[in-house]
């Protein structure tokens, strides 16, 4: 599949799909090996930076709102004192108002930025998903080719194994025939004569160095 065709196909597949934030998904990290992570590195870093910024802004907004509430609570007694005739409170109130205005400005600016971040996250996450899909497609194609090669190899081995098992049976049968014939002529001396041992249960000769198979006793 051509590079352009792949990208077009993947883009169509993603239409209308809710893609989870990939760098927050443990499965995504397990999906990619070192080469895959290298291919996705640029978008991965951008996405993580946006997520860090989103978290930082949310925390800062909460902190500033708490500070604003504290400043407003402190200003109420000052207003009461000013109306009670304490002229020194006016400057303190003005300073308190200035600090509250700064809080409002900071909250507004950070909330505006925070509103833009989800769209930015979605955009970068989309590109990261495309890179991931392209990489996984290539890996699956390579794996499929190797799987085909392995299947062919397994088939060949099975055929070869079957032939060798048949050959083994033929050789065992021939040895048995020879042994039986010679045993009829020489009796038990055939064991020494042909340098073989004899398995009385299996009724066939055993080559030197091999041990007759032991059958499990009943009830063992």
Q: CA-CA distance, 204 to 53, in Å (whole number)?
A: 81
User: CA neighbours within 13 Å on the CB side: how many for 8?
Assistant: 5
Out of 24-28, 66-70, 131-135, 203-207, pick the least confident. 203-207
Kindly tell me if the per-residue pLDDT of 158 is higher than 90. Answer: yes
Asked if the model's pLDDT at residue 30 lies above 90, the reply is no
Q: What's the CA gap between 12 and 5, in Å, rounded?
A: 11
Report the alpha-carbon angle 136-47-64, nearest 5. 160
CA distance linking residue 73 with residue 186, whole number of Å: 118
The predicted structure's pLDDT at residue 90: 77
Structure confidence at residue 105 (pLDDT): 96
As a whole number, the mean pLDDT across the chain is 84
> Averaged over 149-168, what is the pLDDT?
94
197 touches 186 (CB < 8 A): no
What is the rounded CA–CA span in Å between residue 46 and residue 208?
72
pLDDT of residue 17: 85
**Please, where are the H alpha helices in the chain?**
3-14, 26-31, 34-83, 89-186, 190-193
pLDDT in tens, 161-203: 999 999 999 998 988 888 888 878 878 776 677 666 655 445 5
Residue 50 CB neighbour total at 10 angstroms:
20
**Each residue's pLDDT tens digit, 2-27:** 555 788 888 888 888 889 999 999 89
Mean pLDDT, rounded, for 131-147 = 92
pLDDT attached to residue 218: 43
Q: Look at 91 and 95; give whichever has higher pLDDT.
A: 95
């Amino acid at each position: 599949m051509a590079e352009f065709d792949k990208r077009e196909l993947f883009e169509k597949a993603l239409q209308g799909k809710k893609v989870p934030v990939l760098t927050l998904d443990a499965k995504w990290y397990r999906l990619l090996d070192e080469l895959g992570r290298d291919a996705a590195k640029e978008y991965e870093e951008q996405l993580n930076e946006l997520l860090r910024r989103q978290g930082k802004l949310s925390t800062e907004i909460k902190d500033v709102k708490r500070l604003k509430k504290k400043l407003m609570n402190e200003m109420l007694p000052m207003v009461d004192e000013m109306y009670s005739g304490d002229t020194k409170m006016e400057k303190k109130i003005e300073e308190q108002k200035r600090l509250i205005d700064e809080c409002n400005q900071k909250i507004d600016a950070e909330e505006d930025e925070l509103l833009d971040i989800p769209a930015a996250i979605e955009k970068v996450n989309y590109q990261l998903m495309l890179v991931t899909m392209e990489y996984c497609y290539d890996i699956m194609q390579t794996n499929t080719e190797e799987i085909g090669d392995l299947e062919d190899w397994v088939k060949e081995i099975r055929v070869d194994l079957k032939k060798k098992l048949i050959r083994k049976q033929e050789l065992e049968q021939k040895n048995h025939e020879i042994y039986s014939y010679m045993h009829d002529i020489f009796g038990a001396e055939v064991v020494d004569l042909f340098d073989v041992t004899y398995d009385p249960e299996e009724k066939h000769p055993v080559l030197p160095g091999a041990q007759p198979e032991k059958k499990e006793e009943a009830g063992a």
